[in-house]
Amino acid sequence: MFGFALEQRSIRKTADECLTCLRHPYGVNKSRTYLLLGLGTAAGALLGRLLPVVFANASGVAQGLAGLDPFAQLIQQHRTLLSVLDKMEHLTAPDWAKRRLLFLALKRTIGKHALAEENVVYPLLKTQAERHESTQKLYREHASMKIHIFELEVAIRSTDEWRDAVRALRSEIEPHAREEEQTEFPRLRELLDKKGATQLNRKIRQEEALVI
């Protein structure tokens, strides 16, 4: 009988301790802290992804209102790409780290550039300037460049193959950029009023901002 009473008391004590533990303010605060930390991290990540796009939108509008040619930055990127290709071709020592850095710089610039052209400029070229055939050709050339970029990465450890791949990519980019600058961009430029140019500036900056 005495033993049974002791056992009952022991069970009640353990249950009370558990309840105390559950109600303990530190336990509740800890869960809340983790939840808030999780929400804060998610919100920060979302903000980090969205803010560049919001800023790019605003800067595109500002550039358009200031009368900046919507194609100026794309043309500047052509120069940057050709200059990076020059450096890649004339690297003297087989410096893998430098090759890798130049390759990443090239890939990032091409990524931003291609996204803006394929998602904004070429659709306008096709629908507004009615350059149906030329637009398809430009898309095909971009696809071919992407294969050359893949081959360039594969060739990164072989000096001869690397140089051949750089030259092959340059032979794709150079005439393509010339055609855009001398023929296609001017056709589209002719059709744009100030409002259209501002819109185009904004959309191009927005697409570019999607590539970090």
Which residues contact Fe ion by CB under 5 A? Answer: 117, 180
Residue 137 CB, shortest distance to Fe ion, in Å, is 10
Residue 99 CB, shortest distance to Fe ion, in Å, is 24
Residue 75 CB, shortest distance to Fe ion, in Å, is 8
Q: Which is nearer to Fe ion, 122 or 162 (CB)?
A: 122
Distance of CA 162 to CAs 35, 85, 107, 176, Å? 50, 11, 15, 21
Q: Which is nearer to Fe ion, 114 or 162 (CB)?
A: 114
Is residue 81 within 8 Å of 105, Cβ to Cβ? no
Q: Which is nearer to Fe ion, 41 or 128 (CB)?
A: 128
Residue 40 CB, shortest distance to Fe ion, in Å, is 40
Rg of the Cα trace of the chain? 29
Is residue 125 within 8 Å of 188, Cβ to Cβ? yes
Q: Which is nearer to Fe ion, 149 or 156 (CB)?
A: 149
For 65-100, give the DSSP string. HTT--TTHHHHHHHHHHHHHHHHHHT--S--HHHHH
Residue 73 CB, shortest distance to Fe ion, in Å, is 10
Q: Which is nearer to Fe ion, 134 or 198 (CB)?
A: 134
Sequence length of the chain is 212
Q: Which is nearer to Fe ion, 144 or 159 (CB)?
A: 144
Q: Which helix (H) or strand (E) holds 182?
A: none
Residue 176 CB, shortest distance to Fe ion, in Å, is 6
Give the contacts of 172 (CB within 8 A, at least 6 positions apart): 141, 144, 145, 148
* Nearest Cα residue to 177 out of 40, 90, 75: 75
